[in-house]
Amino acid sequence: MFSTMSKTLSTGGLICRNFSSSTKRQAKVAVLGASGGIGQPMSLLIKQNPLVSHLSLYDIAHTPGVAADLSHINSAAKVTGHMGPDQLSACLDKCDIVVIPAGVPRKPGMTRDDLFNTNASIVRDLTDACARVCPQAMICIIANPVNSTVPITAEVFKKHNAFDPKRIFGVTTLDVVRANAFIAEAKGLDAAEVSCPVVGGHAGITIVPLISQCKPAVSFDADKLDAMTKRIQDAGTEVVKAKAGAGSATLSMAFAGARFTFSLLNAMKGKTGVIECAYVKSNETDASYFATPIHLGPNGMEKNLGLGKLSAYEKDLVEKAIPELKASIKKGEDFVHK
Ligand code: NAD
Ligand code: LMR
């Protein structure tokens, strides 16, 4: 893990023009929900990235303490803490990237969609502030249900005439991280060297690992392929069950959220060839939002790299994902317009 990260961190040669101020060499990153199970460790990781000049932390609780604690780390990023709605605009002012893990996590027996009633309004209100204060920022949504919270974000930005589909991302990086870890474990490979795209959405059968496109190439018997696919699809539930009421994945999500943020930072400063899977506005399938590998550049999504060549098994998985995705997207869009 850290070998990959240190490769990312060691790249030099910053380009100024892509961040919000032409004189600024580095980026302001905000974390909304910064005091939470994901927010704290993810902020710790982001604090270490030399491309970050200002790490701005927002939550409805505990942000002064989290910010004071992180600010004692001797890395370059300045840290500020902002608590409660009155301080949200200050947190977002001149932000280049906003990462949003604010919201409640699952307990055993719940689906991600069961979080909709609580998290939809949290994401709507936070992204409304983003659309007002930092409409050009890259918005990275972690809060579940991602399949609906990303369409919510898009509709909020449309209301402000600020919608740019290249700048709104559902963070599905954890699905890729898990696929890489599980495949490496099964095949005795170095997990840091495995790269398996995961497409579709971020809930149950909408999570579609494309194991036929894994690098290095791997093969599984049909029953083992099915078991591996199901493990990746159900990995979030595996953690929810293991935590037995104490929440869902936090540390692995912090790692995944930091990885996606670092990829964006690198692409925004001009690094070429940066590719991550993310859930974005899409024309690749009948679902109007769909995760695929995307090429990141200075202005966000440079190019959607699409699904590539699918096996018959994967085509079937994609077909099965689409009705649920469409329903989750509609639910999110309707929520904003109700
Ligand atoms: P948590 O309860 O530990 O932390 C959530 C934080 O959000 C808390 O600090 C809380 O005070 C804060 N919060 C609540 N309402 C807020 C508001 N209106 N404004 C700002 N902050 C607010 O939960 P967690 O484990 O960090 O999970 C957060 C979310 O991330 C959940 O919805 C979870 O399902 C989701 N998640 C997504 C992925 C993914 O792959 N995309 C992975 C793991 C978890
Ligand atoms: C995950 O995949 O771990 C997250 O979406 C959290 C959850 O509820 O499973």
pLDDT at 35 > cutoff 90: yes
Q: How confident is the model at residue 254 (pLDDT cuts 50, 70, 90)?
A: very high
Q: Are residues 146 and 180 in the same domain?
A: no
The reply to whether 12 falls in a domain is no
Which residues are marked as active site? 202
Mean pLDDT of 82-107: 98
Contacts of 334 (CB under 8 A, 6+ apart): none
pLDDT for residue 60 is more than 60 = yes
Whose alpha carbon is nearest atom 18 of ligand 1?
Answer: 122
What one-character DSSP code corresponds to residue 165? G
The answer on pLDDT for 21 being more than 60 is no
What pLDDT is stored for residue 33 in this prediction? Answer: 99
Token pair, residue 229, equals 């696919």
Characterize 257-295 residue by residue with b for buried, 16 or more Cβ atoms within 10 angstroms of its Cβ, and e for exposed: bbbbbbbbbbbbbebeebbbbbbbbbeebebebbbbbbe
Q: Residue 190 maps to which CATH number? A: 3.90.110.10
Place of tokens 């495995």: 194
b or e along 147-177 (b: 16 or more beta carbons within 10 Å of the residue's beta carbon)? bbbbbbbbbbbeeeebbbebbbbbbbbbbbb
Interhelix angle 251-268/173-187, nearest 10 degrees: 110
Last residue of a domain, one of 113, 142, 172: 172
The answer to the question of residue 14 being in a domain is no
Chain segment 279-289, per-residue pLDDT in tens: 999 999 999 99
Question: How far, in Å, is the centroid of ligand 2 from the Cα of 249?
Answer: 6
Give distance in angstroms: CA of 153 to centre of ligand 2: 19
Domain that holds residue 117: 23-172
Cβ pair 332, 149 in contact under 8 A: yes
Atom of ligand 2 nearest to the CA of 202: 5
CATH number at residue 100: 3.40.50.720
CB 149 within 8 A of CB 119: yes
Going from the C-alpha of 296 to that of each of 167, 194, 227, 263, 314, the distances in angstroms are: 10, 20, 32, 8, 25
Q: Are residues 117 and 219 in the same domain?
A: no
The 10s digit of each residue's pLDDT in 164-194 is 999 999 999 999 999 999 999 999 999 999 9
The arithmetic mean of pLDDT across residues 301-310, rounded, is: 98
* Whether residue 4 has pLDDT greater than 80: no
Question: Which residues lie closer than 8 Å to 129 by C-beta, 6 or more apart?
Answer: 88, 89, 92
Instruction: State the Cα–Cα distance between residues 304 and 281, nearest whole angstrom.
Output: 10
Average per-residue pLDDT for the chain:
93
- The number of distinct structural domains making up the chain is 2
pLDDT band at 2 (very low <50, low <70, confident <90, very high): very low
**Ligand 2 atom 2 nearest Cα:** 236
Band of residue 93 on the pLDDT scale cut at 50, 70, 90 = very high
Q: How far apart are CA 180 and CA 333, in angstroms?
A: 32
Mean pLDDT of 242-251: 98
pLDDT confidence of residue 63? 98
pLDDT at 94 (0 to 100): 98
Instruction: Mark whether 137 and 40 lie in a shared domain.
Output: yes
Q: How far is the CA of 236 from the centre of ligand 2 (A)?
A: 4
pLDDT value at 12 more than 90 = no
Query: Is there a single domain that holds both residue 197 and residue 309?
Result: yes
Asked if pLDDT for residue 23 goes beyond 80, the answer is no
Q: Which of 110, 174, 248 to mutate to test the pocket of ligand 1 (most atoms within 8 A of CB)?
A: 248
Chain segment 99-151, per-residue pLDDT in tens? 999 999 999 999 999 999 999 999 999 999 999 999 999 999 999 999 999 99
State residue 14's pLDDT score.
28
- Using CA atoms, how far apart are residues 146 and 321, in angstroms rounded to an integer? 14
Q: At how many degrees (to 10) do helices 39-47 and 251-268 cross?
A: 40
pLDDT of 242 > 80? The answer is yes
| In contact, 254 and 289? CB cutoff 8 Å | no
Closest-CA residue to 193 (of 170, 160, 216, 220): 216
Is the distance from CB of 175 to CB of 232 less than 8 angstroms? yes
Single out the residue of 63, 146, 57, 139 nearest to residue 105, CA to CA.
146
- Predicted confidence band at 25 (pLDDT cuts at 50, 70, 90)? low
Q: Per-residue pLDDT for 226 more than 60?
A: yes
> Considering the chain, what percentage of its residues have pLDDT values greater than 90?
92
Inside any domain, residue 6: no
Last residue of a domain, one of 172, 198, 222: 172
Report the nearest atom of ligand 1 relative to the CA of 175.
Answer: 40
* pLDDT above 60 (res 49): yes
